[in-house]
Amino acid sequence: MRHLLVTDDESWAAELAAADVEVVPARDYLAEPERWPSRGVKVFNLCRSFRYQSTGYYVSLLAAARGHRPLPDVATIQDLKATEIVRVRSGELDQLTQRSLAPIKADDFVLSIYFGHNMAARHDRLAARIHQLFPVPLLRARFTRRKDGRWEIVSVRAIGRDDIPVPHEEFAREAALAYFKRRWRNDAHRSPDLDLAILVDSTEEEAPSDEKALQRFERAARKLGMTPWRITQDDYADITEFDALLIRATTQVNHFTYRFARRAASEGLVVVDDPDSILRCTNKVYLAELLARHRIAAPPTMIVHRQNVDQVPEQLGLPVVLKLPDSSFSLGVTKAETAEELATKATAMFERTELLVAQAFTPTDFDWRVGLFDGEPLWVCRYHMAPKHWQIVKSAGSGRRWGRVESVPISEAPKAVVRTAQRAAALVGDGLYGVDLKQVGRRILVIEINDNPTIEAGEEDALLGDELYERILGGMRQRLAATRGDHA
């Protein structure tokens, strides 16, 4: 990928040339679009101002129009101007902010961030996290101390090259050099055209894919002419270095996985799973309404709030299953045997959410799971209930015990199960989904639709083996070729 540093000030040109960065005057970039190809260009915008319709604003706007990847993009520029967005995004930094700024005696503090770094080692981690949330080369964050003594962020703004104080010049220049010299790609092993980021969370105890499955994704990528790179939440600022993003960390909306998906999609990367799928699948209230509206059979279901919770036994009977909207891996899902237990458990859940999903208890020996990508079924499994338990996983003390997973050839699975899974998945999109269903006599009931479904070595891939991974990544490669106008 070609790197352009577009600026009003060319004083760093000589130093950055050694890092294979082309320093381009802003006026030339705006006036001479024919000098750069329509893709494979990343634009680092260091203009003096990003106000609406300024030179800096137009550099980022036209970079996007030309198929380049601007940093910052116009969406980020606009987000920085919205105080509420800044405060919401920075809210997750609270503990880090308090630790970093604890020694400061003044009531106001300004943090200068140069390519994700600050001159003071104590503040470097905070600077890096702000840079991840707002991927802008040069930033200035302002903090104030509240009456209760805690620090809060009041603004983050992009700054230009000439906003750097003279004492900071050498540090900022070195930070820029280090940033541009750092490369995701090892040129000896890189693919000629495609780089795949695989987003993982090393702290996750029950990730969607185990280590062997991740290695099989990587092997499949290389076979298909793609170079795989594992990334973590710390690599948010570098997502534009890639062509496609495969998320293999448990997705949530108020979470780094959604931010990665949203930004990658906005930058034109092929993303599995896309932000819309995350929004839709991770909320069981949404799914319940969606299935009901399209008349896809499910266990009798109610959307429950504080005013109607006492009606649940009459409408659904007892026992009843209560679900938090954002529950996953059976966490946040509980069974109430009596009206009193229902009231107690619902009250506790309402501390976290305004709405719950209640479903009539529908016992079966196993759940069907149909895995699909782009609307086509790739695998079918029976997820058997954990021993002496009503769910496929049972929490026992500090551990969790899972039921047996049994792979079934698609041709041998009940046709109604597969067809119903396809109908349900199509309501969400064309991503990678795992549809959970119960079979009660001749009735097929959809329990939920999961984005980013579990794929573990020896279980979901038991029948297809490496072909399962190749079909998923091959589909992503075809999508990328279609967006580029290339041949797959």
Distance between CA 35 and CA 26 in Å, rounded? 13
Both 259 and 317 in one domain: the answer is: no
Q: Are 417 and 439 in contact (CB under 8 A)?
A: yes
**pLDDT for residue 261 is more than 70:** yes
Tell me whether residue 458 is in a domain.
yes
338 inside domain: yes
Residues 374 and 307 in one domain: yes
Considering only CA atoms, give the Rg of the chain.
25
Last residue of a domain, one of 217, 242, 274: 274
259 and 141 housed in the same domain: no
Instruction: Please check whether residues 264 and 293 belong to one and the same domain.
Output: no
Number of structural domains (the chain) is 3
Query: Quick one: pLDDT at residue 37?
Result: 80
Mean pLDDT of 94-109: 93
Percentage above 70 pLDDT, the chain: 93
One domain, residues 168 and 263: no
423 and 287 within one domain: yes
Q: Based on the fold, state whether residues 103 and 212 are members of the same structural domain.
A: no
Q: And the tokens for 93?
A: 């930094």
Judge whether 481 lies within some domain.
no
Residue 97 belongs to a domain: yes
Predicted confidence (pLDDT) at residue 186 exceeds the cutoff of 50:
no
Could you tell me the two tokens for 468? 């399962």
CATH number at 227 reads 3.40.50.2300
Distance CA 375, CA 427 (A): 10
SS3 120: coil
Q: Residue 299's domain spans which residues? A: 281-471
- Do 255 and 313 lie in a common domain? no
> CA nearest 136: which of 101, 197, 86, 198?
86
Using the 3D structure, point to which of 158, 181, 204 is the last residue of a domain.
181
Residue 487 in domain: no
- Residue 285 · residue 253 · CB < 8 Å: no
Pick the last residue of a domain from 274, 308, 332: 274
- Residues β-bridged to residue 246: 198, 272
Quick one: 248 and 309 in the same domain?
A: no
Q: Tell whether 326 and 465 lie within a shared domain.
A: yes
| Co-location of 120 and 52 in the same domain | yes
List b or e across 271-296, with b for residues whose CB sees 16 or more CB atoms inside 10 angstroms: bbbbbbbbbbbbbbbbbbebbeeeeb
Mean per-residue pLDDT over the chain, rounded = 89
Q: How many whole angstroms separate alpha carbon 256 and alpha carbon 213?
A: 22
Q: Does residue 485 fall inside a structural domain?
A: no
Full-model pTM: 0.74
Residues with Cβ within 8 Å of residue 399, at least 6 apart in sequence: none
Mean local confidence (pLDDT), 91-110: 90
pLDDT 10s digits, 353-376: 899 999 999 999 999 999 999 999
Cβ pair 407, 379 in contact under 8 A = yes
The reply to whether 187 falls in a domain is no
Domain presence at residue 19: yes
The CATH number for 402's domain is 3.30.470.20
Distance CA 452, CA 206 (A): 13
pLDDT of residue 487: 44
Q: 284-337 pLDDT, tens per residue? A: 989 999 999 999 999 999 999 999 999 999 999 999 999 998 876 566 899 999
My answer on whether 400 and 285 are in the same domain is: yes
Of the pLDDT bands very low, low, confident and very high (cuts 50, 70, 90), residue 266 is: confident
